[in-house]
Amino acid sequence: MEDNNKQVKNNQPLVEGIHYYYNDGMLVFTSFYLLSRGYCCGNGCRECPFKKDDNAK
């Protein structure tokens, strides 16, 4: 199932393989995307580039 409504901050569409990929049917954001977002959401993302507990909400 592909969601064509995903977008990056600057309103550019997300690109599969660069910003995200699917693993066992789950959408996984890449560390590239997470770094470009600029903060840790605190949800334990698989590819989180931030140190544990740093900048977590």
Q: Could you tell me if residue 22 is inside a domain?
A: yes
Share of the chain above pLDDT 90, in %: 63
Q: Could you tell me if residue 33 is inside a domain?
A: yes
| Total domain count, the chain | 1
Q: Could you tell me if residue 57 is inside a domain?
A: no
Q: Could you tell me if residue 27 is inside a domain?
A: yes
Mean pLDDT for the chain? 82
| pTM of the complete model | 0.69
Query: Which parts of the chain have pLDDT scores under 70?
Result: 1-9, 52-57
Of 24, 13, 33, 16, the C-alpha closest to 47 is: 33
pLDDT at res. 45: 92
pLDDT at res. 1: 46
What are the E-state strand segments in the chain?
A: 20-23, 26-29
- In angstroms, the CA 12 to CA 52 distance is 29
